[in-house]
Amino acid sequence: MHRRHQLVHAVLASGLTTVPADLAAEVAAEFGDFGGFLQEVQRRWYRAFDARLDAVLEERPQDVHDALVRLWRDLALTMPAARLMLDANAGHPALVEGDDRHRRLLHAATGVVLSPAPLTEQPAARRKPCLLSLLLRTSTT
């Protein structure tokens, strides 16, 4: 586990959205492939999000939507390299199952579903595609 943590930290610290060439062999040996590495970054992101989610829900915010948007944005500021890696690789097949599972769990826990609008207020022309940087809205179901 310590080696996995070191490798994730080293790759994210590079500022790249792929594995640097000098770490490729180690990442492949530890995670199997780039998809396995992405899944580890995704697990860390959701683990951190969910830990903070518990605190948000304990406060019983009047506007759960806004509370979750703030939570996502605050975590993105805390873990910018992880968010950059996940956003840049949002279409990767290795991330689909984890994203879907977390979307369902978030809905079950909060009554909030994901909407396709990004969290950032950037104009559409400058907006980068991002699978999970999505606005959250209250479900009507």
**Angle, to 10 degrees, between the axis of helix 93-110 and the axis of helix 34-58?**
10
Binned at pLDDT 50, 70 and 90, residue 39 comes out as very high
Question: What are the extents of the domains in the chain?
Answer: 2-138
Question: Tens digit of pLDDT for each residue in 42-53?
Answer: 999 999 999 999
Distances (CA, A) of 70 to 74, 78, 99, 133, 136: 6, 12, 19, 12, 10
| pTM, entire model | 0.80
